[in-house]
Amino acid sequence: MKYGVGQPVRRFEDRRLLTGKGHFQDDLTLPHQLWAVFVRSPHAHAKIVSIDTTAAANAPGVAAVYTGQDYAADGIATPKAAMPRKKRDGSPMFAPQRPAIVIDRVRYVGDTVAMVVAETLAQAKDAAELVDVRYEALPSVTSLADAARPDSPRVWDENPDNISHTTERGDRAATDAAFARAAHVVRRRYVITRVHAQYMEPRGSIGTYDEGEDRFTLFADVNYPHRVRNMLANMVFKVPESHVRVQVRDVGGGFGAKGWQYVDHRLTLWAARKLGRPVKWKCERSEVLLADEHGRDNIGDIELALDKDGKFLGLRLHMFASIGAYIASDRQLLTPFGQIGTVTGVYDIPAAFVSIDAVLSNTSPTAPYRGAGRPEAAYLIERIVEDAARELNIDPIALRRRNIIPPEKIPYKAPLGPYYDCGAFDKNMDLALEAADYAGFAARREASCRAGLLRGIAVVNAIEQAAGPTPEYAEIRFNPSGTAIMFLGTKTHGQGHETSFKQILHEKLGIDPAAVQFIDGDTDRVAFGMGSNGSRSMVSGGSALTLAADKVIAKGKRIAAHLLEAAEADIEFANATFSVTGTDRGVTLKQVAMTAFQPARLPPGVEPGLYENATYAPKRDTFPNGCHVAEVEIDPETGVVALLSYLVVDDVGTIINPLTLAGQIHGGVAQGAGQVLGEQVVYEPGSGQLLTASFMDYVMPRADTMCNIRIVSNPVPTPSNPLGAKGAGEAGCVGALPAVMIAVMNALQPAGVRELDMPATPERVWQALQAARAR
């Protein structure tokens, strides 16, 4: 089939997006619209002594200036986390809510202290400069390592330490026993830096309020429109869900950071109701790192126990995970706490125990960012396996092969809970070693050495827990003309959903994609949805669409049997045609759809129209996996790291579209490599000032950072969903984080460098080389 599942179909949406015909958040301007600007704290921690808004309120064009006192006076609520968590002593989790506008004390640079609304953006900016806020600076702590120390400044006086809660997984007793009988124990500390998504279009929101209908409408670039609506209705404004509409159009990249639950959503709606006019806020690039949630920021103390033959016996991990100054929702509790189960990787490790301390600090809250805990888990296991091989003088490939889960043990229940229902982990590695010419690396390294350069390679195995068991919705609605509309509860933010979902529909029903309208992101038009996250869209949304198509076929057979004067049991469907088995008599799906709107031509008992929907909830998670091979070269005189080649052998289950899959993997690899080679959110010690608030300081990967990325697919479809899909959105990032860093360390090893944390910037690499020379 030309457009069927597995075909390399070019994205249908690209013509519109690449020719300037997209409809992004900042493209929307509403009649009589006002503009909002937020006044943000310049202090990491300070008491608000006073706020004087008089001059700002009297500035030209200003409609209103609001403070936290105004918000509180109107009785607008603040969402809070609901996941049950506890501190190490058994007491309840300390989960400070994030205020929409701070009243008494700011707790990170960027905290909102006032909102200015004016006729134009320029007037709002000018007036914001006139808001006079007097602060009394307080001690702050922005470093994760420092915040976890007992003697560090307290982010919240009510909390006796900066630990919000502790999460534990695994069997402590069994793991301790495994370590007790181990011949070797390898211990390391690995730091995973704080980063930001840095999408193409910064966030924004427009709030409107219809007094006649008593109804809010939010235009925003979020991943989960229905969940945003439910939160605003049930937790903030305390109104029926039917009184809130959320509309999301094109999204200029999300990567998890645009999920939901930002204070500007409720503030623009609140201001719109108070002022009777739409209120728009757009985040400018210089404001992004102040206004948004960040990602990662973990420190892992990991131990690996091995017997005398190099077999893995057990794994222990104690991790500090930064969650910033507030816990605004359960979203802050997902990373890495919910995804750490794959920290044992694809290795047969009998026992494991993990303890994670959630640490508060005077920084922006953290939340899911591409991979949401899975890249961190892969980074930890692959680095400790690599270091164990070096420490015990075992070939790294041999050590991995000795411990990889063999085919006969699959399905495999990992010690921390994940259930790997299928996969060919050993074959992934074999394919990768051959495709990357691993055997020829020694010669390539020697050639680099003669040129005065250091060359390194990494072969890592990656697995991730994806597409969790949450429901998703799809609907197929035919028009009387025989064309169709497809509604999905997921939300595309650059992945190519329109193309992939149309391919699934074409595979099932044979409909020309040009005859299908695609709709998502509108809570008034799509009945239900959980949105896009965790590589779930094809697994859950695609499966729901498949089930809805099956219902179309079932009803279509009843109508076709009537039209063809045949028994329903004798009707078969293929290539968009219903036909009588063993004959050349048939009617097309389009004809059947048109007939469905003509009651006189329908069989008795068949309801007119052809509209079918389905909600699908997977029974368990899926586990995309693969093997990544990265090769780098380092100039020891400058510390510059060049990424020379990158290979991915991937298993994402059933491949819907090889082209969009390649795009997802390429993007994920770029984000993983970008974090290792340069990306990092940096706060100044002591003052807590954000030092990386622009692209002048935040090191984004460029085109010349990357190399050609080769992809070899080794799909093993999962039996856990109708499509056999496992998910692909985060696969590249999960493997790239350990692959690039281990390749750097492999290159530095001959020069005597044994320890280096990301980011491997030229300065840090050069300093590590100088220190090794001094030793």
**What's the pLDDT tens digit per position in 535-594?**
999 999 999 999 999 999 999 999 999 999 999 999 999 999 999 999 999 999 999 999
pLDDT of residue 331: 86
Look up residue 407 and give its two tokens. 């085919």
**What's the pLDDT tens digit per position in 651-700?**
999 999 999 999 999 999 999 999 999 999 999 999 999 999 999 999 99
Q: Under DSSP, is residue 25 helix (H, G, I), strand (E, B) or coil?
A: helix
pLDDT of residue 582: 93
Total-model pTM: 0.96
pLDDT grade for 2, boundaries at 50, 70 and 90: confident
> What is the arithmetic mean of pLDDT over 377-399?
98
Q: What radius of gyration, in Å, describes the C-alpha atoms of the chain?
A: 28
Rounded distance between C-alpha atoms, residue 7 and residue 338, angstroms: 34
Share of the chain above pLDDT 90, in %: 96
Rounded distance between C-alpha atoms, residue 43 and residue 20, angstroms: 40
**Residue 749 identity (one-letter amino acid):** Q
pLDDT grade for 600, boundaries at 50, 70 and 90: very high
Rounded distance between C-alpha atoms, residue 182 and residue 308, angstroms: 8
Sign of the dihedral through C-alpha 748, 752, 754, 757:
negative
- At a CB cut-off of 8 Å and minimum separation 6, what does 555 contact? 596, 606, 610, 612
- Helices 658-677 & 731-748 angle (0-180, nearest 10): 40
**Residue 1 identity (one-letter amino acid):** M
Residue 425's closest CA among 350, 345, 363?
345
Q: Under DSSP, is residue 413 helix (H, G, I), strand (E, B) or coil?
A: strand
pLDDT of residue 330: 87
pLDDT grade for 1, boundaries at 50, 70 and 90: confident
H-type alpha helices, 521-620: 542-564, 589-595
**Residue 157 identity (one-letter amino acid):** D
CA end-to-end span of the chain:
64
Q: Which domains does the chain have, with CATH numbers?
A: 424-464+623-775 (3.30.365.10), 470-616 (3.30.365.10)
Rounded distance between C-alpha atoms, residue 483 and residue 518, angstroms: 12
**What's the pLDDT tens digit per position in 55-69?**
999 999 999 999 999
**What's the pLDDT tens digit per position in 140-178?**
999 999 999 999 999 999 999 999 999 999 999 999 999
pLDDT of residue 329: 87
Rounded distance between C-alpha atoms, residue 238 and residue 458, angstroms: 53
pLDDT of residue 332: 86
The answer to whether 646 and 705 are in contact (CB under 8 A) is no
Q: Around Cβ 450, how many Cβ atoms within 10 Å?
A: 8
pLDDT grade for 337, boundaries at 50, 70 and 90: confident
> What is the arithmetic mean of pLDDT over 33-43?
98
The answer to whether 364 and 287 are in contact (CB under 8 A) is no
Rounded distance between C-alpha atoms, residue 697 and residue 692, angstroms: 5
Count how many Cα atoms sit within 13 Å of the Cα of residue 730 in the half-sphere of its side chain. 32
Residue 439: pLDDT over 80: yes
